[in-house]
Structure 1
Amino acid sequence: MGTTLRVLQVTARFFPEMGGTETHVYETTQRINRDSDITVEVLTTDRTGKLPQREVVAGTVVHRVAAWPRERDYYLAPAVAAMIGRGGFDLVHCQGIHNLVPPLAMTAATLRRVPYLVSPHTGGHSSQLRNRARQAQWHLLGPLMRHARRVICVAEFESQMFMEQAGVPADRISVVPNGVAIGPVGDNAALVPTEPLVVCVGRLEKYKGQRHLVRALPHLIRLVPDARLMLVGRGPDEQELRVLARRLGVADRVSFTSIPPADRQAMSDCLARAGVVALLSDYEAHPVAVMEAVALGRPVVVAPAAGLGELASQGLAQKIADPTDAAAVAKALSTYLPGGTRDSGSFTAPTPDLSALPTWDGCAQALARIYRESV
């Protein structure tokens, strides 16, 4: 190994496609490359066949290889193994384990005797069958995950799950939470929302639960007549959500928008407008947008699932016991909106201690430390 540690992060999707895992990779790689003597490159797939095979994104070299089948999320990218074999990297870091790309990368690294790390970034899926199959998937991936120098989880529940379901030893697991953007965007924390706006940020898929918010909107309007819902994101469920809003007679109260993945200031501005931020996913690990809302001091309403429930147990959000109960969801949301009515049992959004919240700088520093310890 030379004086500069060379790390290859492998992620199935990356810029310009963005979600929680992609944001994590985007935010951490640029910081490690900027602030340390470690060089990190990204290897990802291109299912469109239209993106550059190599480019620099925010100071990080990104390599793209073809993947098939292009229309599915269980695609395979054979060139991943070749890239790991010829790249001369000292360490491979697999970001996400939801399709065939990470097992291929782990196997290739093993054959080339390159140490590797795994960050599962466990999330949900719109298919209930796929969700039920996850436990079997973790069991099957157990040998590869146990061979990793370190499994890096974003939440405590995730670390416990992989100890139990994949047999990863406790001393091989680290917990490094996703960060929040603290800096110029923090100025928005001083703003007081003046409109009864509910904001939900996330890819538009069934498991993300946006449909629960649309179904709650007629009930919410009875409580707060001017209430509106903004869905921030794109995804396969968008048309179905639009149809649902029209069927319920609230199409004029639901807006759909997206924000460029690199524009964190625009995301902060969007969240700052919210009277309340809501995420009612069936499954989440450590959602970036929710943490950004907390950093801005915005009240957050979440489902009880996994990482969301963990945030609620930390006093950072209000948990809704049953996200399918539209009336209960509406009541919870209404207590935070201008024109709504608070009762004695209402959750009060905490005044954020920014120094106590995880940051992307801290996340990147933790990864850099693990990289050095793993070679």
Structure 2
Amino acid sequence: MTIQPFQLTDGSTQLGVNTPANQTLQTQLLPHGEQHARTYHKVSNRKLRVLMVTPRYFPYMGGVENHVYQVARRLAHAGTDVTVLTTDPSRELQAAEEVAGVKIRRVVAWPAERDYYFAPQISNVIAAGGWDIVHLQSYHTLVAPLTMLAAKRAHIPYVVTFHGGGSSSDFRNHIRGLQQRLLRPLLAHAERLIAVANFEVNYYGSRLHLNSERFVVIPNGCDLPQVNESSNKGEGTLLMSIGRLEQYKGHHRMIAAMPYILAHYPDARLRILGEGPYKSELESQAHSLGLAGRIEIGGISATKRSEMAATVASADLVTLLSNYETHPIAALEALALKRPVLVANTSGLQELAERGLAKAIPLTSTPQEIATAAVQQLR
């Protein structure tokens, strides 16, 4: 088995394993590799059929959505038959389409705009699809038990990637204990539990009483097209806070620090790169501080890789002051573009600091303390 580069549709190069896609996936995700997988399926004469299930997918934006997109399109490029199954609470999106070689299926979920929405058709798609393996991406919603239970009943092996050690939902935080008790038997039945950071192994292993040997750590990676940094640098000092627009992401902390940063860098600007339900609150905060002209809020589609790379490359400092993260792709992309990164010392973010890749400050830092840390990295 050799490793060789292959070209992706966007022109970027990745390292791929020169072996059938089904063998690659089995040896990476199942406990005992190809031999163990054969107890379930014989797929040597056809493409491996993989179903990735995620609560949300494009056009919704976020770390999990980007992770699923990047992994799914690479598997498809390597010859795997990949379908992403997701929900559509809005009932306005296409029920089926194909993007980057990956088939997308959307099922209706209700109630809309709630954290506890149901999508019972997930079970039907899993039962009827003839899948070789089901990969559950994110366990924080009711999509998780539906997916695992349906796969178990259909005798389809499944793996789980957790994606995070916290929740932006008050409802989910309130029922966290019940959720963990209900999900533990289904998680214990999974072929493999995938963590993107060591933090997740410790967090879920202790809370769910799962043996660490059930986990495999596969860190996130990133892939951005090359950019000419000098051609993308605008005027002034640009700080960038990246992530979905939700309160737990901590964008409000950077807004609060901006008046103190401006005392040192009068030309400073803040770009909050993301989309989400907290946008109006962030805009109100910026306006109340008289910073509306200094702060830009809005996202870039994860499919527009060149634009994303150019935008991040233009930053003088990238910040992620979230309440929790695991192994954020946004931070990795900034590091790949040689941008200094400032993070909160929480969950998986602290691991980046421990490896010397980012500077960490306490989550409880005051706006003045955040500004001081930012100014130190800008100098």
Aligning the two structures, in what range does the TM-score lie when normalised by the shorter sequence? 0.7 to 0.9
Q: How does 1:255-274 map to 2 (within 5 A)?
A: 255-274=296-315
Give the conservation status (yes or no) of the 8 Å contact 1:193–1:275.
Answer: no
Structure 2 Cα separation of the partners of residues 31 and 43 of structure 1: 17
Give the aligned partner of residue 28 of structure 1. 71
1:285–1:158 distance in 2 versus 1, CA, 3 Å: same
Structure 2 Cα separation of the partners of residues 191 and 249 of structure 1: 27
Q: Shift of residue 185 of structure 1?
A: 2.4
Q: Does 1:161 align with 2:207?
A: no
Give the aligned partner of residue 285 of structure 2. 244
SS in 2 for 1:336: helix
Give the aligned partner of residue 318 of structure 1. 359
Give the aligned partner of residue 276 of structure 2. 235
SS in 2 for 1:14: coil
**Given residue 179 of structure 1, which amino acid in structure 2 is its aligned partner?**
G
Q: How does 1:203-214 map to 2 (within 5 A)?
A: 203-214=244-255
Give the aligned partner of residue 336 of structure 1. 377
Give the conservation status (yes or no) of the 8 Å contact 2:134–2:151.
Answer: yes
TM-score w.r.t. length of structure 1: 0.85
Give the conservation status (yes or no) of the 8 Å contact 1:146–1:169.
Answer: no
Q: Does 1:185 align with 2:226?
A: yes
**Count of aligned positions:** 336
Q: Does 1:151 align with 2:193?
A: yes
Give the aligned partner of residue 121 of structure 1. 163
Give the aligned partner of residue 14 of structure 1. 57
Bigger relative contact order (CA 8 A; separation at least 6)? 1
SS in 2 for 1:88: coil
Q: Shift of residue 171 of structure 1?
A: 2.2
Q: How does 1:15-164 map to 2 (within 5 A)?
A: 15-36=58-79, 38-122=80-164, 124-127=166-169, 130-131=172-173, 133-134=175-176, 136-164=178-206
SS in 1 for 2:105: strand
Structure 2 Cα separation of the partners of residues 322 and 256 of structure 1: 22
Give the conservation status (yes or no) of the 8 Å contact 1:154–1:178.
Answer: yes
Give the conservation status (yes or no) of the 8 Å contact 2:53–2:134.
Answer: yes
| Unaligned residue ranges in structure 2 (runs of 5+) | 1-41
Give the conservation status (yes or no) of the 8 Å contact 1:204–1:235.
Answer: yes
Give the aligned partner of residue 346 of structure 1. none
SS in 1 for 2:94: coil
Structure 2 Cα separation of the partners of residues 136 and 222 of structure 1: 48
Give the conservation status (yes or no) of the 8 Å contact 2:140–2:172.
Answer: no
Structure 1 Cα separation of the partners of residues 208 and 156 of structure 2: 21
Give the conservation status (yes or no) of the 8 Å contact 1:139–1:165.
Answer: no
1:189–1:116 distance in 2 versus 1, CA, 3 Å: farther
TM-score w.r.t. length of structure 2: 0.84
1:126–1:33 distance in 2 versus 1, CA, 3 Å: closer
**Given residue 55 of structure 2, which amino acid in structure 1 is its aligned partner?**
A
Q: Shift of residue 323 of structure 1?
A: 4.5
SS in 1 for 2:202: helix
| Unaligned residue ranges in structure 1 (runs of 5+) | 343-375
1:264–1:199 distance in 2 versus 1, CA, 3 Å: same
Give the conservation status (yes or no) of the 8 Å contact 2:246–2:278.
Answer: yes
**Given residue 58 of structure 2, which amino acid in structure 1 is its aligned partner?**
F
Q: Does 1:307 align with 2:351?
A: no
RMSD: 1.9
Give the conservation status (yes or no) of the 8 Å contact 1:53–1:65.
Answer: yes
**Given residue 53 of structure 2, which amino acid in structure 1 is its aligned partner?**
V
Per-residue CA deviations over 1:272-304 (Å, capped at 9, x if unaligned) read: 111100010001111111100001111000011
1:43–1:171 distance in 2 versus 1, CA, 3 Å: same
1:304–1:129 distance in 2 versus 1, CA, 3 Å: farther
Structure 2 Cα separation of the partners of residues 227 and 141 of structure 1: 47
Per-residue CA deviations over 1:55-88 (Å, capped at 9, x if unaligned) read: 1011101111100111212211000001111101
* Percentage of identical aligned residues: 43
1:129–1:329 distance in 2 versus 1, CA, 3 Å: farther
